[in-house]
Structure 1
């Protein structure tokens, strides 16, 4: 996401599950903060590629993992604002609840 390649982020997001348990043990898992930030990067990448449903799934995953952290994370609010701008139909209940949770008006 740093260089603006949202499609690469979406592609790479699925690769983390491809490591074997032995590799995870050797390499170590990412810290909770790194994992949460990665989830937000993936949400933003899905938003940029137009997959708003997948973006909402990632935001929901982040909310379940770290609700207080997510509420105060600017990147989450920015991603939600982008989702609201791109949405062509009425908002889903999930989108309204997340926007409310993040304090986003759209």
Structure 2
């Protein structure tokens, strides 16, 4: 369901298995807040990032609190342009992955 935040901004929260995501060029932003690669390594693979890459619109962005090198490399391998950013309080760094920039 969509949650309207303001006249020009709404959120769509979905609970799905990655294998069930078929969206293509649909989303502006993905906030990926899974448990880290050490706890859930199956969620930090090239195949999962490819699904998210495909689901994003051109110029779409994926952000995550994980800044691990293997995560960055998996994102880059599927076509993302990846930047390290300062993290929020309690996190040193985070990643922003852009599609088509």
TM-score (norm 2): 0.35
TM-score (norm 1): 0.33
